[in-house]
């Protein structure tokens, strides 16, 4: 056996978990992203009094696959004046960063993606931030005004909001005392409460900042369709465009997973330590069964026989999942499977809820202007995040050194942070008012002076 082969074998033996996870991520995430897009389109259609995709498969269930095929076979256009190499690399960088950062995430106690490294959360945030390089390089390499403006906006936005998001995460990490993904969730189980209830302000800041980080409305300025056509993606088409798109949705999953892990109790069910709430364990199975039952109900209403069969297939899949979730609860020897399976269910449910929130905001709100975005970031979110870190720290000292009740300490600091938020908002309003009324001449001096002479 040649030494090269041996080296390769040794490498594979050491890293096989990571290699397999890598393959799984690359295989699964695009599909999931495609279905998130479908979900988004369906929800948007529902909120806008229309139907959304209905043609490909029953209720458009095969639309993502059709889209993927379409994008794969589309003509691949590279502008003449583009920097070809960078133009090639940029979307790959963007997507690689998004997919790599998933490596350290755990989708439940039994579903660690690659490895539970000791700086897990830091790794996730750090690597996903690298995605900005793809956007900047792509915008620059396109050699187009719209692209470069989108890229510049994106850079400024990410730098500003990454700071706020990082500080918000620090508040949560102070409570957890670790960066290890699994340990963070264990800490929440130990505390008996999700960190969102202990540090609500931090969670709120993270929600806002993560929307901005993933370039979603109302912070979707880098790709603001009505202003910059498509921002940094303007010159991209076909599969390269799809890579950017994929990166964006993968990023949404990542921020959802981070928020879920740190603030929403990870894979813990609601009230994880409360014994009489144990009936909640039946919820996952009932939920999937209900979805399956709805599919059966819809199956009879499909106009085409193929679609009826398809719906029956989906229903069957749902029932199988429900069965898998239910059996370990009922059969004593399989009880050890419960945390793993149900953990994954709860984790995915929470991520979905988080992404749903993103979508809901997108359909509802108009877009911020660039200067307003910057003001919101630098004048409100970042100061608030700093105050919040201090406040959480003070609360923890009060609890640990002076024996205060944890809830009392947290409540106190939350109130302080909220007061700061109000103060910042007031300040911001005043500043905005001053800026808008700068044009008219300054007001007369006070009346006291007029009587002075």
Work out whether 224 is an interface residue with other proteins (CB under 8 A).
yes
**Vertex 110 angle, CA 104 and 112, to 5°:** 10
Which residue of 93, 221, 299, 348 would you call a contact of other proteins, by CB under 8 A?
Answer: 221
What is the C-alpha to C-alpha distance for residues 431 and 281, in angstroms, rounded to an integer? 51
Tokens of 168: 């918000």
- Closest to 244 in 3D by CA, of 347, 169, 156, 141: 141
> 217 near 362, Cβ under 8 Å?
yes
With beta carbons less than 8 A apart as the criterion, state whether 286 and 293 touch. no
CB 393 within 8 A of CB 349: no
Residue carrying structure tokens 């059996």:
327
Minimum CB–partner distance for residue 79 and other proteins (Å): 15
Q: How far is the CB of 441 from other proteins (least distance, A)?
A: 16
Return the residue of 1, 5, 27, 49 that touches other proteins, per CB under 8 A.
49
- Give the integer Cα–Cα distance in Å for 51 and 41: 9
Q: What's the rounded Cα separation, in Å, for the pair 242 and 236?
A: 9
- Spatial neighbors of 80 by CB under 8 A, at least 6 apart, are none
- The stretch near other proteins (CB under 8 A) out of 16-24, 270-278, 343-351, 356-364 is 356-364
In this chain, which of 47, 69, 323, 331 binds other proteins, going by CB under 8 A?
47
Name the one range near other proteins by CB under 8 A: 21-29, 227-235, 293-301, 386-394. 227-235
Binding mask 302-331 for other proteins (x = CB under 8 A): ------------------------------
Task: Work out whether 229 is an interface residue with other proteins (CB under 8 A).
Answer: yes
Q: Does 226 bind other proteins (CB under 8 A)?
A: yes
Residue 271 DSSP one-character state? S
Dihedral over Cα of 67, 69, 75, 79: its sign = positive
User: Nearest-CA neighbor of 257 among 246, 269, 267?
Assistant: 267
Q: Is 335 one of the binding residues for other proteins (CB under 8 A)?
A: no
Give me Rg for the CA atoms of the chain. Answer: 25
- Complex with other proteins: residue 19 or 425, whichever CB lies closer: 425
Percent helix, strand and coil across the chain, each rounded to 5? 75, 0, 20
Closest approach of other proteins to the CB of residue 425, in Å: 10
Query: Is position 362 an interface residue for other proteins (rule: CB under 8 A)?
Result: yes
In the bound state with other proteins, the residue whose beta carbon lies nearer, of 174 and 229, is 229
From the list 264-272, 341-349, 359-367, 444-452, the region that binds other proteins by CB under 8 A is 359-367
- Buried/exposed code over 49-68 (b: 16+ C-beta within 10 A; e: otherwise): eeebbeeebbbbbebbeebb
State both tokens at 451: 């009587």
Q: Which is nearer to other proteins, 43 or 317 (CB)?
A: 43
Q: Is 81 in the site for other proteins (CB under 8 A)?
A: no
- Smallest separation, CB 282 to other proteins (Å): 37
Instruction: Cite the DSSP H helix spans in 263-337.
Output: 283-299, 305-330
| Residue with smaller CB distance to other proteins, 76 or 225 | 225
Pick from 170, 75, 121: which is nearest to 396 by CA?
Answer: 170
Interface region with other proteins, contact rule CB under 8 A, candidates 40-48, 91-99, 112-120, 239-247:
40-48
Residues that bind other proteins (rule: CB under 8 A) add up to a total of: 30
Query: Could you say which of 114, 368, 388, 392 contacts other proteins (CB under 8 A)?
Result: 368
Q: Which of 113, 127, 149, 252 binds other proteins (CB under 8 A)?
A: 149
379 counts as binding other proteins under rule CB under 8 A = no
Q: Judged by CB under 8 A, which of 303, 366, 442, 453 binds other proteins?
A: 366
Q: Under the rule (CB under 8 A), what is the footprint of other proteins?
A: 44, 47-50, 145-146, 149, 217-218, 220-221, 224-229, 362-372, 436
């Amino acid at each position: 056996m040649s030494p090269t082969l041996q080296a390769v074998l040794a490498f594979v033996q050491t890293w096989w978990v990571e290699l397999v996870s890598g393959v799984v991520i690359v295989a699964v995430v695009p599909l999931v992203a495609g279905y998130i897009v479908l979900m988004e389109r369906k929800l948007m259609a529902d909120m806008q009094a229309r139907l959304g995709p209905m043609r490909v498969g029953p209720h458009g269930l095969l639309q993502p696959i059709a889209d993927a095929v379409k994008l794969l076979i589309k003509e691949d256009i590279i502008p003449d004046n583009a920097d070809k190499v960078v133009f090639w690399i940029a979307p790959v960088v963007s997507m690689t960063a998004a997919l790599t950062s998933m490596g350290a995430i755990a989708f439940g106690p039994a579903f660690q993606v690659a490895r539970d490294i000791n700086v897990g959360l830091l790794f996730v945030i750090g690597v996903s931030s690298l995605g900005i390089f793809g956007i900047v390089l792509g915008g620059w390499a396109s050699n187009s005004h719209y692209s470069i403006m989108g890229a510049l906006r994106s850079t400024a936005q990410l730098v500003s909001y990454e700071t706020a998001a990082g500080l918000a995460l620090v508040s949560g990490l102070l409570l957890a005392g670790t960066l290890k993904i699994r340990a963070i969730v264990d800490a929440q189980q130990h505390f008996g409460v999700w960190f969102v209830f202990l540090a609500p302000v931090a969670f709120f800041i993270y929600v806002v900042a993560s929307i901005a980080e993933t370039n979603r409305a109302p912070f979707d300025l880098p790709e603001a369709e009505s202003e910059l056509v498509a921002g940094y993606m303007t010159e991209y088409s076909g599969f390269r465009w799809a890579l950017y798109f994929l990166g964006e949705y993968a990023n949404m999953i990542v921020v959802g997973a981070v928020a879920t892990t740190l603030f929403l109790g990870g894979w813990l069910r609601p009230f994880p330590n409360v014994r009489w709430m144990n009936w909640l364990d039946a919820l996952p199975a009932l939920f999937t069964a209900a979805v399956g039952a709805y599919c059966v109900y819809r199956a009879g209403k499909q106009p085409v026989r193929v679609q009826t069969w398809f719906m029956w297939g989906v229903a069957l899949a749902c029932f199988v999942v429900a069965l898998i979730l239910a059996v370990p609860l009922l059969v004593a020897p399989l009880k050890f499977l419960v945390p793993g399976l149900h953990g994954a269910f709860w984790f995915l449910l929470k991520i979905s809820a988080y992404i749903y929130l993103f979508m809901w905001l997108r359909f509802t709100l108009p877009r911020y202007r660039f200067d307003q975005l910057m003001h919101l970031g630098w004048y409100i979110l970042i100061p608030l995040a700093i105050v919040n870190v201090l406040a959480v720290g003070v609360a923890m000292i009060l609890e640990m050194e002076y024996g205060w009740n944890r809830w009392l300490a947290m409540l106190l600091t939350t109130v302080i942070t909220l007061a700061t938020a109000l103060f910042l908002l007031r300040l911001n309003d005043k500043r905005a008012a001053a800026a808008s009324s700068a044009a008219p001449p300054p007001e007369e001096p006070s009346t006291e002076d007029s009587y002075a002479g």
